[in-house]
Chains A and B, each alone.
Chain A
Amino acid sequence: MKKLLLASAATALVAGAAQAGGHGEVKIGIILGYTGPIESLVANMGPAAEMAMAEVTESGLLLGGAKVMPVIGDSTCVDAAAATAAAERLITSDGVKGIVGGDCSGVTGAMLQNVAVPNGVVMVSPSATSPGLSHQNNEDEGLFFRTAPSDARQGVVMTEVLMELGIKEVAVTYTNNDYGKGLADSFQAAFEEAGGSITISAAHEDGKADYSAEVGALASAGGERLVVAGYVDQGGAGIVRGSLDSGAFDTFHFPDGMIGTALVETFGSEIDGSSGQHPSPSEELAAKFTDLVGGKFEATSPFTPESYDAAALIMLAMQAAGSAEPGDYKAKIMDVANAPGEKIGAGELAKGLQILADGGDIDYVGATDVELIGPGEAAGNYRVVGFEGGKEVTAGRK
């Protein structure tokens, strides 16, 4: 009897909490790699997602005045078990209604399959770019979206950049995980189709003691430029250091995982003449977002505006569906992200929420000109970068 009483009391409590969650407070998880290989990027991505949530809370318009509470989890970027545990905790014990994350492709896939899909929670990743995640569309029950483009697209963009520079023969090294392998493969396919040749495509492990064996093999294979599909805080930097010191390569091509302030800080003018690209919005959008951020964190750091947009999309879709339940609002994400409707930029979330509350339509532009295609991923705008005099400069857009 006593047990029964306790159980019913507990049930009542839980029900009460759920009720309160429905009206007063909506919890949204942010699962990014606060520690691990891209921790220096996440230092800006996390605050960007929280900024969008604070903006919505301040407006007081979401679902009749609900507050949005961010709940933070650490994906570690590389440890699928740790990321799965973090997602499990956020969904089952904190009761989040949606997740901004994960960051790296491998852990994102693991969280999606093991936790998000079984529990029916929406995930919007700002930075998982592996083409492998696109195929999961049929298995993800419409729960997975990303505001970053797939690397299948990045491979094509990289090819265009290199071809325009007149480079026809390159060596490729990639970090040995879903991101690195996916990008290296899509680049190889695109580059060879365009008539280029790849002398070697070799993996490297992150966090290892010594990269002279890798550099030796790459140097022996040769090529006009070395493509480093790795991480700037990890093995990618080790490979670049080794190549420069031994004179194996003077110029490099850096995809998104390598572009960051740490790259220029570490290598300065040694990498002059190199090239690279990363997903990034147009100049006007970038300037507008930088103003909005106002120096609280680095607004132009890779995937930072994407993080803001990922959080914004979740909340706008909730408003459109009139419910914070993932099962109700998952179908609305594509609607609010794409035309038709009034265009809503970053910092105008209140306006968007109001239009949706009045039954109107919006086309969320956000900080990165969000346009979701196919399986729910961004079409992708890239900023092409060059390196001159020890500085990173914008060399064009794709």
Chain B
Amino acid sequence: MDLLNALVALLNFVIVPATAYGAQLALGALGVTLIYGILRFSNFAHGDTMAFGTMVTILFTWWFQSMGISFGPLPTALLALPFGILGCMALVLVTDRMVYRFYREQKAKPVILVIVSMGVMFVMNGLVRFIIGPDDQRFGDGERFIISARDFKAMTGLREGLAIKTSQGLTVVVAVIAVALLFWFLNRTRTGKSMRAYSDNEDLALLSGINPERVVMYTWLIVAALATVAGTLYGLDKSFKPFVYFQLLLPIFAAAIVGGLGNPLGAIAGGFVIAFSEVTITYAWKKIARYLLPDHLDPDGLVQLLSTDYKFAVSFVILLIVLLFRPTGLFKGKSV
């Protein structure tokens, strides 16, 4: 019984939240890594692209809610998601046409494009705040829990509860579908193959007749879709606040770099490594130790490796170690 309690506590406070957070980071890191692999720069505007896509989704969600359209037990935001993706696609294509294309034609160095993307970041940042405001917005509806802590306790008679939120379940399911679609697209379709060819060797790809503008356009479209999905899932799970999306940029970049920039598989692995390390290394194991150890060995302290104050340090220490020993990341990416 104690063993079960310990297991449930671990699931509830470590594994379930870290998996959902990891999936959100992985989707965000995929967008960053695609841009890096194909357009060859670090896109600092990614967090705010996510915020913009989510904002459009939220506006459509509110509209649907006001018309009384709902998605049963699932959040209405899922119905609005395609519209959010379209809005975000329009935004990134316009940005590319107005800003990035100019620098591409100049054959600007990546570092210049990074600075340009910071400028774009501030503009998008302002745009989102201008339209929806800087405050917290809530747009989740439908069933909140797949299983709530109280129900779980009543069902199993255990002392520990296990809560799985609908948004957490959705996050993982949608992330799996999105990643599967992405890999199918990159590996099986003509356009996907031309994208990979362009990423591997630009000159060779151009020689074999690949239209670079088309590749760039498809990349932006995919990135917009990934960003909107990641942003909406994150917003459903926590809450939507433009400033927080801006702050998400750091863990997302950490995830992409740890996994290996430019490598989609690496981005996914990186997302989970960052999420799990943030949660597990700062977790206080007192509760679990109490269940597992005999009474006279009960710990007095918290059995915590590092205080939670240091959880951000944890992801950056991992980033440093990975870069020191494998400069191209866990999976073979491009060197930074």
Instruction: Name A's B-contacting residues (CB within 8 A).
Output: 35, 39-40, 176, 200, 202-205, 207-210, 212-217, 219-222, 233, 237-238, 241-242, 245-248, 262, 266
Contacts and interface: CB of A to CB of B under 8 A. Distances in A.
13 contacts: A202-B307, A207-B243, A209-B21, A212-B13, A212-B17, A213-B279, A216-B13, A217-B302, A220-B285, A221-B286, A222-B286, A233-B135, A247-B150
A220 B150 contact: no
B282 A217 contact: yes
Interface in B121-167: 134-136, 138, 145, 148-150, 153, 161, 163, 165
Given A202-B309, A245-B165, A248-B13, 7 more contacts: A40-B135, A200-B302, A203-B308, A216-B13, A220-B13, A246-B12, A246-B13
Contacts of B211: none
B311 interface: yes
The listed residue with most B CB atoms (<10 A of its CB), out of A35, A212, A262, is A212
Interface in B272-298: 275, 278-279, 282-288
Interface stretch (B32-40, B71-79, B97-105, B244-252): B244-252
Contact of A207 (B244, B311, B312): B244
A234 B321 CA distance: 32
A238 B238 contact: yes
A216 B283 contact: yes
Contacts of B12: 246-247
Given A207-B244, A245-B163, A246-B149, A213 B285 contact: no
A220 B234 CA distance: 25
Given A202-B309, A207-B247, A220 B165 contact: no
Nearest to B283: A216
Contact of A176 (B288, B302, B309): B309
A265 to B, nearest CB: 9
A247 B149 contact: yes
B104 to A, nearest CB: 31
**Considering the complex of A and B, which 7 residue pairs feature the smallest CB-CB distances, nearest first?**
A247-B149, A212-B17, A216-B13, A220-B284, A247-B161, A220-B287, A217-B284
B182 interface: no
Given A207-B247, A220-B288, A247-B12, A213 B136 contact: no
A209 B248 contact: yes
The listed residue with most B CB atoms (<10 A of its CB), out of A222, A247, A262, is A247
Contacts of A39: 134
Interface string B303-320: 010011101100000000
Given A212-B18, A220-B13, A202 B308 contact: yes
Nearest to B167: A245
B309 A220 contact: no
Contacts of B153: 247
Identify whether the interface residues of B are mostly helix, strand, loop, or mixed: helix
Contacts of B91: none
Nearest to A200: B302
Contacts of A262: 136
Contacts of B302: 200, 217, 220-221
A241 B238 contact: yes
Interface in B161-202: 161, 163, 165
Contacts of A204: 308
B244 A220 contact: no
Contacts of A242: 17
B118 interface: no
B65 interface: no
Contacts of A222: 286-287
Given A208-B247, A241-B238, A247-B12, A217 B283 contact: yes
B311 A233 contact: no
B314 to A, nearest CB: 9
Contact of A208 (B134, B138, B244, B287): B244
Interface in B229-250: 234, 238-239, 241, 243-244, 247-248
A210 to B, nearest CB: 5
Contact of A209 (B244, B283, B284, B308): B244
Contacts of A202: 307-309
A207 B283 CA distance: 20
B234 to A, nearest CB: 8
Contact of A220 (B21, B138, B251, B283): B283
B238 A210 contact: yes
A298 B279 CA distance: 40
A210 B21 contact: yes
Given A200-B284, A210-B21, A245-B163, A216 B279 contact: yes
Contact of B136 (A200, A205, A219, A233): A233
Contacts of B309: 176, 202-203, 205
Nearest to A216: B13
B138 to A, nearest CB: 8
B77 to A, nearest CB: 17
B14 interface: yes
A262 B137 CA distance: 12
A81 to B, nearest CB: 18
Contacts of B283: 213, 216-217, 220
The listed residue with most A CB atoms (<10 A of its CB), out of B247, B285, B308, is B308
Contact of B13 (A205, A215, A233): A215
Contact of B163 (A220, A238, A246): A246
The listed residue with most B CB atoms (<10 A of its CB), out of A213, A220, A238, is A213
A343 to B, nearest CB: 40
Given A200-B302, A204-B308, A238-B238, A210 B149 contact: no
Contacts of A217: 282-284, 302, 304, 308
B290 to A, nearest CB: 9
Contacts of A40: 135
